[in-house]
Amino acid sequence: MNILVSACLLGVCCRYNGTGEENERVMRLQEKHRLIPVCPEVYGGLSTPRPPAERVGERVMAKDGTDVTKQYQKGAKEALRLAEYFGCTAAVLKARSPSCGKGRIHDGTFSDGMTDGDGVTVQLLEAHGIRVYNENDEKALEEL
């Protein structure tokens, strides 16, 4: 199976702070599957590093006050394009991210608070029938 994966979970230094966050459980998926790395923020035209961003309702705002919603939407569309091109039916994306977070994301106050919700890319992928998980969903990752 081809699985779309947040590139940062494979150790690629594309997170907002210029780092990667290699995840052993995600890396093990390559033993059985083909992993397709994506970074919607970079595909949307944002730099690495970049100011942290959080969802504020339907908008995505950087900590410096810049509205980056359009970049996040563009990146989500590019991630979907790759998922469709490679026939991905599942994705494993970075938890809590305003783009890739599934179920719980930062609350928009830049105070490490959390709220129920999904990132921009998660919403688009799921709307197109792609199952989305995060790196902390151990049971789902074992079943993939």
Tens of pLDDT, residues 70-111: 999 999 999 999 999 999 999 999 999 999 999 999 999 999
Residue 127 — pLDDT band, cuts 50, 70, 90?
A: very high
3-state class percentages of the chain: helix first, strand second, coil last, to nearest 5? 35, 25, 45
- At residue 38 the predicted structure's pLDDT band, cuts being 50, 70 and 90, is very high
- Residue 90 makes CB contacts below 8 A (sequence gap 6+) with 1, 3, 4, 130, 131, 132, 133, 144
Task: Give the pLDDT confidence of 44-54 residue by residue, as tens digits.
Answer: 999 999 999 99
Residue given tokens 């792609």 in the structure block: 130
Spatial separation of the C-alpha atoms in residues 69 and 120, rounded to whole Å: 9
User: What's the pLDDT score for residue 3?
Assistant: 98
